[in-house]
Structure 1
Amino acid sequence: MTMEQVLTILSGLARELITDADDLARVDVLAVGVQAGGDSGVTALIQLARLTGEAAADANAVPDAVDRVQDDTPLWRIVALVVVCFAVVRADYPSRQDAQAARTAVSARADMVYGEAGIYGPETIAWLVSMTGVATLTLSRTAAERAPAVRVETGVSLPSTLLAYDLYGDAGRAEALVDRNRVATSLVMPVSFEAVAP
């Protein structure tokens, strides 16, 4: 895949994830820089990847959006790693396990990229290793600060609002219980479900 094709994919992804008008204007400026080609074009492409991860309206949605792209070229995987690393440090992780899973996913993505990035020179590899190191360290710190997810057994199906009030003293956290457990209706929670420890 050429740099122009990667630019087309990345620009589309940026417009899908970014809602701020000023950031969208920067997307257009960087796209022009990429089209200039050469080293400055590669630099602009990486800056566009960083902007996409940093400015995404929903940082939690970025890894899934990146994974929907059907491309296996080394250049796209490098760009995708940059987007994801800058997004995951902004994402919200309700539990320790959520942050740990994000860290594992970033490390696995990086391991795939490192072997291929050599064609872009040792400076590129060093920068990618440093960037990924900062992201995984941030996720480790986040994991250490979060409460663990635990399994809750009730013996009878109850509404999520009642369970949220019983667990946290806040019925407003019912939606988080429903989302976490992918329950179809909030009125009947399963008798065994996962919740963030109070």
Structure 2
Amino acid sequence: MDQVLTILSGLARELILDADDLASVDALAVAAQAGGESGVTALLQLARLTSEAADDAGAVTDAVDRVQDDSALWRMAGLVVVCFAAVRADYPSRQDAQAARTAISARAEIVYTEVSAYGPETLAWLMSLTGVATRYLSRTAAERAPAVRVETGISLPATVLAYQLYGDAGRAGELVDRNRISTSLLMPVSFEAVAP
């Protein structure tokens, strides 16, 4: 419990900027140190708060994935963090939302097999939480435009391509970010974009 609590408190301090939320982190950390069933409940509430109060919802899953801990308790806390982050993150394309849903489902399958030590109420709560998050992601995927492959034949600046695709040169950063291009001056002749 102590190692997971240390990891989760560290993530909270990395992701949360609001002083009131950080005070709540401290209170939940003290409650979690009590151990037992109430300690696990406080730990899961700390995981929820970390995700809900994080300044950048998109960075939350990356932060959880960087953690090097294979304990069942950490995987359970990580699932809570990721589920709450999923409903706050932005998904520009259908495929982005579908990938997030698949990742949560895979994470949940592992946790479900390990959570029995924490009681049936914990398992039921985690299954409900995962169900809400995956339904939200399914609905979001259905509402988003698909990502498509664009072929230009020549390298052009991202601003020109954004204007040609969307009528908005301001969306050039979106093309650069989606394709992980180091410079916006010359985009590759084949790249991915959200369908207009």
Partners of 2:41 and 2:122 in 1: CA distance: 11
Match of 1:195 in 2: 193
Q: One-letter code of the match for 1:60?
A: G
Deviations 1:105-161 (A, max 9, x none): 000000010000011111111111110000000000110110000111110000000
Q: How do 1:133-144 and structure 2 match up within 5 A?
A: 133-144=131-142
Task: Give, in angstroms, the shift of residue 40 of structure 1.
Answer: 1.8
Aligned to 1:38: 36
Matches of 1:116 and 1:38 in 2, distance apart? 17
- Provide the secondary structure at the position in 2 that maps to 1:194: strand
**Which one-letter code corresponds to 2:54 in the other structure?**
A
2 CA distance for matches of 1:192 and 1:5? 46
- Whole-Å separation in 1 of the counterparts to 2:17 and 2:33: 23
Name which of 141, 164, 167 aligns with 1:166: 164
The whole-number CA distance in structure 1 between the counterparts of 2:16 and 2:136 is 23
> For 2:67, what is the secondary structure of its paired residue?
coil
Q: Which residue of 2 is the match for residue 94 of structure 1?
A: 92
Tell me, yes or no, if structure 1 residue 116 matches structure 2 residue 121. no
Mapped partners of 2:37, 2:105: distance in 1: 27
Q: Secondary structure of 2:193's partner? A: strand
TM-score (normalizing by structure 2): 0.98
Runs (5+) with no aligned partner, structure 2:
none
Match of 2:48 among 41, 47, 50: 50
1:75 Cα deviation after fit: 0.5
Which of the numbers 140, 156, 177 marks the counterpart of 1:179? Answer: 177
Q: How many residues get paired?
A: 196
Tell me which of 5, 9, 12 is aligned to 1:11. Answer: 9
TM-score, length-normalised on structure 1? Answer: 0.97
Structure 1, unmatched stretches of 5+, are none
Distance 1:83 1:59 in 2: 10
The Cα of 1:5 is off from its aligned counterpart by: 1.4
Shift of the alpha carbon at 1:36?
2.1
State percent identity of aligned pairs: 80
Give the counterpart of 1:104 among 92, 102, 105: 102
Read off the aligned partner of 2:103 and give its amino acid letter.
A
Match of 2:155 in 1: 157
Q: 2:125 aligns to what?
A: 127
